[in-house]
Every structure is written in structure tokens, then in C-alpha cells.
Amino acid sequence: MRAGGPTDTVPTAPLPDATILGYPRIGPDRELKRAVEAHWRGRLDEAGLRRAAAELRTATRARLRSLGLTGASAVPADFTYYDQVLQVTTAFGALPERFADLRGGALSADGSSGDYPGTSLDGYFTVARGRGEDAALEMTKWLDSNYHYLVPEIDERTVLDYVPGFGAVDPADGPVAQVLEAARAGEQVPRPVVVGPVTYLLLAKPSDAAADGFALTDRLADLLAAYGHLLADLWAAGAEWVQFDEPALVSDAWSLPREEVLRLVHDVYTWVAAITERPQVLVAGSYGSLGDALPVLASTGVDGVALDLVAGGLPSAEDLAGLAGRSVVAGVVSGRNVWRTDLDAALTALESLRERLPEDARLSVGTSTSLQHVPHDVERETDLDPAIRSWLAFADQKVAEVQVLARGLAEGRDAVAEELAEDARLRAERAAHPGVARAGVRDAVAALTGADRTRAPYEERRAAQTERFHLPLLPTTTIGSFPQTAEIRRDRAAHRRGELDDAGYEQAMHAEIERVVRLQEELGLDVLVHGEAERNDMVQYFAELLDGFVTTQHGWVQSYGSRCTRPSILWGDVARPAPMTVAWSQYAQSLTDKPVKGMLTGPVTIMAWSFVRDDVPRSLVADELGLALREEVADLESAGIGIIQVDEPAIRETLPLRLADRESYLTWSVGSFRLATGGAAPATQVHTHLCYSEFDVVIDAVDHLDADVTSIEASRSRMDILPAVAEHGFERQLGPGVWDIHSPRVPSTDECAELLERAVAALGIERLWANPDCGLKTRAYEETVESLRHLVDAAHRVRAEN
Ligand code: GLN
Ligand code: ZN
């Protein structure tokens, strides 16, 4: 049965000296996205999709070999069509009740018994995307990255099963299928990558059907049995190593107390190690330091550990002592940023680690995380300033770096003297580049005082604003963007290509702004917006107008499923050469007597959705952005814009994974927002907007933002968060969303009114606003107009009744 080797026990082949923990799955030209979306639209059948995916995987393995990852187990097999957590969920049949019909049967077509727990490929996509009333699995951020995974929903009855042999016929081409595919092609065996059992449990949530008192850990035995069968299947397919990704171990912000997490780690890996028919197990602790989980892992029989030495520090000799005889992958090349690795510093870290490790531990060089967070190849960025390009390393360049470092470690620094010298030269060039450190910007940041981050007391502001705006109780507004129609996109694209000149573009955008302003007047909204038609993206728009950023041509990374983003690269000190939004806002305001809200993206969100420089602390970058935005706020005020919204939807998502790191993060992130808004006059009303729920986690920080009005996502949870807001003592104005803009569904007036009544009951009407959950750019006008009409009617009704 076992194809790969002569043994009938755990294989013993060592890990290669250089490896990566994972590689972008989307393809250099987003081949996977294109094929998957063509399949969804019915233009590519399942066989065609699977063929396209197989070609992409084959090309990826060949590429990695040609880049030098040649040994057995050097190349990761981490492909999945949509999400790596979903891959485990569907392989184990762990579908919530609403998708129970998608389990098993699909395979009976090819003669299998039908009791396989897994799904068909279309079942896999259905769970990811939902169907009719059956909501998709919830999507949420993967650790502190911009990748989103699908949250498993588990209860007492959820199937958690895996039938050996399934991998060979898995229609979702999971890890076993990928090992077999490489074997069939006569290639070196790759190293399958699977989300590990502890992380799978910690990332899951109890399903709605779970009984009170149900704990996810109640299902540990079933989960382990499924993983055990999967291991046997991988072993039978010939895998020498399997990588279990256990990033959850680097965080202590789970509802399970740390001691219980550690006990779980101990139990799970003691159990795994006792299996005899399995590949060797490499446990990868990416996105931070394993901390006290490292000695616990070492106390089990796992064969290897991968350490993130970029986000986490060097472990102590004491914590490393238990790793005698094991493999250690030292993640010194960042899988998160786009910068060349400081080869000298990385070699020093590797040498120190080698000194601290027990003698017979085997050290390999690797990436800190999967490279799924970075684009493929910087060589393709031919439009980039060559100086800036020479400082960058995308996935392919990082593959080369791990090998240089492995050589330096094995053969000594002399063996890589040329590479070290070249890196030092580029590093010196970068440091000396005039845009990297602008004296004016650095001086301005150094001169900041607390006063720059402090507005007049809220009561004073409230009085000045009441007098200025005469807003009714429960004022109505939107979050900023209006639907981005095909015409808007067409005009923007034509302008970008030079086919529409500046005057024509301005005319088109003015026409759109006028349309949106008239519509809002007709709907009876109280505070209007210009609609953001000119913005391709709320971060990139600003990145293109600020000094210190570059944008790429091919720098796509997966955000979720088939969705990719192309983050800008923040490489230098930030400066604002000219106003960025003033003309559009001013034009909108010229059309109406109602206040038009200016619209900016906050410093933390601009940073979170870009690739940020690695040569200065993030707090400095945040303040530089804060200063640039502060100038914009001043110019908006001078242009007569009295209400200014600074969006910070990302403040929650970059929250550190370790509780102990949160306070300092919140201090500088909140500080940068206060810098951006701190110059605003008392009569200027500052709004902020946050979404992606979990408001409760950051409520204290949001309070410190000191915005006059905060809008949040609240409709899906039916305002459940508001009693906590009241209890917290959050005193300023709040706009809890009453319309879930993530779906085309139109909420009725009654529904909106009921949510508003709930909000009034929790917080009182005096400080409430009525608005949707988020911007409307992804919605169509059809549902937008009707929904906003209902929202305004509901506000009127609730106003009259209170
Ligand atoms: N002002 C932005 C918009 O309306 C806010 C988007 C967001 O929070 N993600 O589109
Ligand atoms: Zn939002």
C-alpha cells in the first residue's frame, strides 16, 4: 500500500536544509482566481477547473525546484481551492446541519461506497459561499494577517471523520491527492501542509445548535481520530513529513485559558506521536513566538518544530533544551513583508539559535510563515523605480534567501560573502535614499506634544456643533461610498489609461457626485456624503496621492477565496504634496445646504492594508500618516467642510496576538488617529467608522479615539453590543448600523425601526444616529434606494415616538 518507502513505520528522512512553510496559491497571474470564478459562472466545468488547478500546482512545484528547493519534503503541498481551514472542514465532513446534504454521497458516482465524509468540490464551494437562505460559514481574519479563513461550526453532533483512502479520490484535491500527484509525475515527495488540530479547534466556534455548556474540546477525541486517519492516508501516499500549522499557539487571546491550551497541545501531540503509521510531524508556530508552548511541544514526540523568528524572538536555551534529536526550522525570512531579508542579522540569529540548541538537533532555514501573504515575483515589477525594487523580495526572492542563509549556516559566512556584501550595499543605499528619511517629516513628528492629540472637551464640542448644524434627533447618514456602477468603473479605468482626459474625468465624477447628492436630498438624509466614486479602494486612493508609497502591477495576494488585493508598498517617510479629497468634498458641498461629510481613511487602516516598511517602528509610520491626514483635515475645514469622517475599520484586526502587547499597540494607534483629528476646531464634527464587528474587544480604545460620532456594524447581531457600550461608559454619539449592507436584502421599515428602538432602549435617543452598517460601494442602486428610504422612514417614526 505504502508507495513512498520501504518502512512500515514512521519514516526518518531529515528535513532539507532550506524550505518554505507555504507559497502563494493563486498563481502569478491569478490563474486560480480566474479558473474558480469561471467555474462559478458556469463557463468552466469541474473537470476543467481541476485540470487548471493541477497545471498550476505542477507549475508551482517545478518553479520551486528550479529556484533550488530540490530535496525530498522541501516543497510544501499546500494547495486549496478557497481556504486552508475549509479544506480540513470539508475533508472531515464537519459541515453544519444546513449543509448536511453536501456530505459523502457525491463520491458514489465513481463507485465508492458513499460513506466518505468529504464533500464534492461544488459542496466545498457551497459551504464557502452559501446558497439561498443557508448562510456561508462565517469568514474572519487569520491571526493578525489580511487573509480570511472560514470559521468551522461544531456541536455535539457535527461529523468529524476521515476515511483512509478518501485522499486518493478527494474531489477538492487535498494534501493526500497532492502527494500522489507529485509521485505520479516522478517528482520528489512534497511536504503536505495541513491546519493542525489545536488550531482547528481554537479557530472553530460552537454552532447555533450546540447545547448550553458545550465546549469544542468535548469533540477532541473525534477530531483526533479524523486527523489520525488523515495521517495514515498521507503516510500511505508516501509523505515523509507533514506540516501541521499551529499558529493559534502563538496567541493567548483565546477564550480557553493558556494552561488549558498548553494541556491541549500536550495531549494532542502526545497522541499524534504515538501513531506508527504516519509521516514525521513538523509543527509550525507562525505569526509570533510559541513561548511556553515550545517546551510543551518538545515534551511530546513531535519530530520537528518551525519557529517564527521574525515576529517572535529567539527562544531561551532552556526552552530549546527538549528538542534534542528533533528538526527545527528557523523562520528568519519573513512571510509577511515584502522586504529583502537582512542577511547578516538573519545569519547571526541562526548562529545563536544553533548555539542554544542541543547538539543533535537538526537546524533548517525557513520562512517565518507561509509565503501566501506576499506576491509571487518582484522581477515582474518593471514599472517600479529600480532602486526601490532592489530593496524588495517577494515569494520567489525569499525562496532564494532561505537557500543563501542555509548555505551560510552550513559552510560559514565566507561561502556567502558575495551575497552578504550585496545585501549590505543595498541596505546602505536604502538608508541613504532621500525619500526614506525626510528631515521635515521627522522633525515634525519629534516636535509633537500631547496637545496635538487633544481636542477641546467633548461637552464644549457638542455645544458648538449643536449650534452649528441644527441636526434633528436621530440624524440619518451613510458611511461614505455609494454604489460603484459600471459607468464609474469604466470612467476611472479610462482615465487611468489616459483615454479620458482630466477635464472629462472631472466632469464625469462631478455628474456622479451631483446625482448622489440629489438622491440623498430626495431621500431626506440629514448628513450627506459625496459618494467616493473617485476611489478605487479606500487605502490605495490615498497611497497614490501621498509621498512614501509605491503601487505594483502584479503584486496580488489572496484576501479570501478568489478575492485578491494588491496592497501598496509604504517604503519612505509619508508626506502630502497636495490636498487629496478637498476638491471633491467641496464640490459636493457647493450643491446643497445640508452638511456634506468629508471622508478620509485613518492611519491604522492605511497601514494595515499596505505593506509597511520594516526599517522604522510602526508607531512612527502611524504618526507620519496622522500628520498628513491632519493637514487634509485642516484643508477640509478651510474649504467649509464641517463634518469629517476618518475611517478606522482595521483598528481591531491588527490588534496584537499576545495580550501583553496590546496596550502599547493601542496607545500608538489611537494616538495617530488623535493626531489626524486633533487639530479640528470644536465646531467641526469628527466621525469615525469601524466595522468587522467585535466592537466589544476594542471599545476602550475606540472611546479614546475621542471622535464625536462613531458608526459601527450592529445589525447582524441585532444591536446586542449596545448594553455593553452603555455599561462601558462610552459617552459620545454612536451610529449602530441598522442595515446589513453585506447582502442585497432590503430591510423593511419595521425592521429598521425595531433595531433603532432597541438602540434607544440601550443608549437613549439623544446620542444616537441612524445609518447602515458600512459603505454601499458593493451594493446596487436597486436595493440601496429602497433600503435607505426604509432607514429614513424608520428614523422619522422612532423620532416621533420618543
Ligand atoms: N467610507 C468607506 C466606505 O463607505 C468605509 C468602508 C469600510 O469601512 N470598509 O466605503
Ligand atoms: Zn465599514
Compute, in degrees rounded to 10, the torsion defined by CA atoms 451, 456, 457, 459: -170
How far, in Å, is the centroid of ligand 1 from the Cα of 121? 33
Residue 251 exposure: Cα atoms within 13 Å on the Cβ side: 20
Q: Is the CB of 27 under 6 A from ligand 1?
A: no
For residue 432, how many other CB atoms are within 10 A of its CB? 9
How far, in Å, is the centroid of ligand 1 from the Cα of 517? 18
**Mean pLDDT value across residues 510-526:** 98
Average pLDDT, the chain: 95
- The 3-class secondary structure across 87-140, one letter per residue, is HHHHHCCCCCHHHHHHECHHHHHHCCCCCCCCECHHHHHHHHHCECCECCCCEE
- Residue range 668-683, pLDDT digits in tens: 999 999 999 999 999 9
Q: What is the pLDDT of residue 302?
A: 98
Q: Is the CB of 689 under 6 A from ligand 1?
A: yes
Q: Does 693 have pLDDT greater than 70? A: no
Ligand nearest to the CA of 536: 1
Whether residue 529 contacts residue 515, with contact meaning beta carbons closer than 8 Å, is answered with no
CA distance 755 to 748: 11
- Cα distances (Å, whole numbers) of residue 574 to 114, 445, 636, 637: 59, 11, 19, 22
How far, in Å, is the centroid of ligand 1 from the Cα of 688? 10
- Cα distances (Å, whole numbers) of residue 159 to 96, 118, 175, 683: 9, 10, 20, 59
Q: Is the CB of 741 under 6 A from ligand 1?
A: no
- For ligand 1, atom 4, the nearest C-alpha belongs to 775
- 101 versus 744: the higher-pLDDT residue is 101
Pocket test of ligand 1: the residue of 525, 599, 713, 774 to mutate, having most ligand atoms within 8 Å of its CB, is 774
Q: What is the pLDDT of residue 9?
A: 85
Q: Does 107 have pLDDT greater than 70? A: no
- For ligand 1, atom 5, the nearest C-alpha belongs to 775
Residues whose CB is less than 8 angstroms from the CB of residue 509 and which lie 6 or more positions away in sequence, other chains included: 491, 533, 534, 584
Pocket test of ligand 1: the residue of 530, 538, 651, 742 to mutate, having most ligand atoms within 8 Å of its CB, is 538
CA distance 178 to 71: 17
Q: Residue 283 pairs with which residues in a beta bridge?
A: 244, 305
Q: Is the CB of 531 under 6 A from ligand 1?
A: no
Cell 518582484, located at residue: 378
Q: What is the pLDDT of residue 133?
A: 84
Q: What is the pLDDT of residue 653?
A: 86
Instruction: Respond yes or no: is residue 742 known to be catalytic.
Output: yes
- Ligand 1 atom, smallest distance to 481 CA: 4
Q: Is the CB of 533 under 6 A from ligand 1?
A: no
Mark out the alpha helices in 524-657 (DSSP H runs): 540-545, 582-590, 603-608, 618-638
Q: Is the CB of 19 under 6 A from ligand 1?
A: no
**Structural Rg of the chain based on CA atoms:** 27
Q: What is the pLDDT of residue 115?
A: 67
Mark out the alpha helices in 238-339 (DSSP H runs): 258-274, 293-298, 317-320
Q: What is the pLDDT of residue 231?
A: 98
How far, in Å, is the centroid of ligand 2 from the Cα of 773? 6
How far, in Å, is the centroid of ligand 1 from the Cα of 691? 9
CA distance 391 to 386: 9
Q: What is the pLDDT of residue 19?
A: 98
Q: Does 113 have pLDDT greater than 50? A: no
How far, in Å, is the centroid of ligand 2 from the Cα of 709? 14
Whether residue 107 contacts residue 118, with contact meaning beta carbons closer than 8 Å, is answered with yes
The distance of Cα 231 from the centroid of its chain, to the nearest Å, equals 29
Q: Is the CB of 779 under 6 A from ligand 1?
A: no
Q: Is the CB of 530 under 6 A from ligand 1?
A: no
Q: Which one is catalytic: 376, 742, 790, 796?
A: 742
Whether residue 442 contacts residue 627, with contact meaning beta carbons closer than 8 Å, is answered with no
Whether residue 83 contacts residue 32, with contact meaning beta carbons closer than 8 Å, is answered with no
Q: Is the CB of 649 under 6 A from ligand 1?
A: yes
- For ligand 1, atom 1, the nearest C-alpha belongs to 480
Whether residue 291 contacts residue 267, with contact meaning beta carbons closer than 8 Å, is answered with no
Q: What is the pLDDT of residue 233?
A: 97
Percent of the chain with pLDDT over 70: 97
Q: Does 106 have pLDDT greater than 50? A: no
Q: Are strands 557-560 and 563-565 parallel, antiparallel or unpaired?
A: antiparallel
Q: Does 439 have pLDDT greater than 80? A: yes
Give the confidence band of 2 by pLDDT, cuts at 50, 70, 90.
Answer: low
Q: Is the CB of 479 under 6 A from ligand 1?
A: yes
Confirm whether pTM is higher than 0.90: yes
How far, in Å, is the centroid of ligand 2 from the Cα of 713? 7
Ligand nearest to the CA of 774: 2
Q: Is the CB of 652 under 6 A from ligand 1?
A: no
Dihedral-angle region of residue 712 (phi above 0 means left; psi in -120 to 50 means alpha; beta otherwise): beta
Q: Is the CB of 775 under 6 A from ligand 1?
A: yes
CA distance 737 to 747: 12
- For ligand 1, atom 10, the nearest C-alpha belongs to 775
Pocket test of ligand 1: the residue of 689, 691, 710, 712 to mutate, having most ligand atoms within 8 Å of its CB, is 689
Cell 522541501, located at residue: 74
Give the confidence band of 601 by pLDDT, cuts at 50, 70, 90.
Answer: very high
- For ligand 1, atom 3, the nearest C-alpha belongs to 775
CA distance 353 to 366: 13
Q: Is the CB of 737 under 6 A from ligand 1?
A: no
How far, in Å, is the centroid of ligand 2 from the Cα of 691? 4
Q: Is the CB of 483 under 6 A from ligand 1?
A: no
Give the confidence band of 108 by pLDDT, cuts at 50, 70, 90.
Answer: very low
Q: Are strands 241-245 and 191-195 parallel, antiparallel or unpaired?
A: parallel
How far, in Å, is the centroid of ligand 1 from the Cα of 538? 7
**Mean pLDDT value across residues 207-211:** 95
Residues whose CB is less than 8 angstroms from the CB of residue 769 and which lie 6 or more positions away in sequence, other chains included: 474, 475, 476, 477, 709, 711, 733, 734, 735
- Residue range 261-298, pLDDT digits in tens: 999 999 999 999 999 999 999 999 999 999 999 999 99
Q: What is the pLDDT of residue 105?
A: 55
Pocket test of ligand 1: the residue of 477, 481, 778 to mutate, having most ligand atoms within 8 Å of its CB, is 481
Give the confidence band of 744 by pLDDT, cuts at 50, 70, 90.
Answer: confident
How far, in Å, is the centroid of ligand 1 from the Cα of 589? 20
| Grid cell at residue 800 | 416621533
Q: Are strands 304-308 and 685-690 parallel, antiparallel or unpaired?
A: unpaired
CA distance 163 to 91: 9
- For ligand 1, atom 9, the nearest C-alpha belongs to 649
